[in-house]
Amino acid sequence: MLRALIFDFDGLIVDTESSSLSAVQEAYRRHGHDLRSEQWRQCVGTTVDPYDHLQRLVGPHVDLTTVREEMEVRHRADAARLGPRPGVVELVAEAVAVGLRLAVASSSSRRWVEDHLARIGALQAFHAIRCRDDVRQTKPAPDVYLAALDSLKVCASEAVAFEDSPNGVQAARAAGIHTVAVPNRVTWDWPFDHANRVTSSLRGVTIQEVGDWLDAASGSDSQR
């Protein structure tokens, strides 16, 4: 039975991945390089720093600390203008109305997540927020999802996770959680082989539908 929903934040609730990618790509171009898709894929949903790779490309004679700081300022400014992705607010509101437990599980900092949730008016809906501040290993390790389950006091079999990246899906699945991939403009063509379900948007998705997905998956597992 469905008792909880757990959401990634970056790229899932708010598409901050697009603003982040744009800033990093600009930094690479400034130094005569392109950011490969597979390199960025390693970073999304984790704390892997793409500037470390750029440093290896350009050498230690270039101080990338200032570049990183400048690009971070740009990213934060762009992200501050973004609203929630389609369907997220409606799904969260319905979950609150029917009494489900809600959490965010993110590899970003708690301050980043809470500030944006407050900005879009969704902070109070969540019973727990677990971020990189709370765990030893970030995604694709399952730690942040396990911490979210523990905070919500629910079993993995009673929750559904929503993710936008393969690293995030891997983390949620490693925690034993039924996982729905909702790719964004950056991750739309990435492989989501580990996801239980892939949907292009949460627009129009209802709690009844999510519960049916979980029930169908549980039924399939019990027949094996």
Average pLDDT for runs of 10 along the chain of length 224: 97 90 84 80 75 83 82 89 97 98 97 97 98 95 98 98 96 98 91 95 98 85 46
Q: How far is Cα 36 from Cα 132, in angstroms, rounded to an integer?
A: 25
Q: Are residues 90 and 36 in the same domain?
A: no
- Domain range for 48 is 16-79
Same domain for 134 and 200, yes or no, is yes
* Count of Cβ atoms closer than 10 Å to residue 193 Cβ: 9
Total tally of structural domains belonging to the chain:
2
Task: Looking at the structure, tell me whether residues 218 and 158 fall in a common domain.
Answer: yes
- Of the three residues 79, 94, 115, the one that is the final residue of a domain is 79
Active site residues: 8, 10
Compute the C-alpha angle 113/114/118, nearest 5°: 120
For residues 8 and 27, membership in a common domain is answered with no
121 by DSSP, 3-state: which? coil
In degrees, rounded to 5, the angle at the alpha carbon of residue 152 between the alpha carbons of residues 192 and 101 is: 80
End-to-end alpha-carbon separation of the chain, Å?
A: 19
What pLDDT score does 221 carry? 55
- The 10 Å CB-count burial string (b at 16+, else e) for 39-77 is ebbebbbbebebbebbbeeeeeeeebeebbeebeebbee
Kindly report the CATH number assigned to the domain that includes residue 172. Answer: 3.40.50.1000
CB 180 within 8 A of CB 161: yes
Query: Is the domain of 75 the same as that of 130?
Result: no
168 and 71 both lie in a single domain: no
| Alpha-carbon distance values, 73 to 23, 24, 67, 68, 79 (Å) | 9, 11, 10, 9, 10
Instruction: Kindly state whether residues 215 and 151 are assigned to the same domain.
Output: yes
Q: Which of 79, 107, 126 is the last residue of a domain?
A: 79
- Write down the pLDDT at residue 220: 56
- Report the Cα 169 to chain-centroid distance in Å: 9
Pairing of strands 128-130, 159-163: unpaired
Q: Are residues 64 and 106 in the same domain?
A: no
**CA–CA–CA angle 43, 38, 139 (5° rounding):** 30
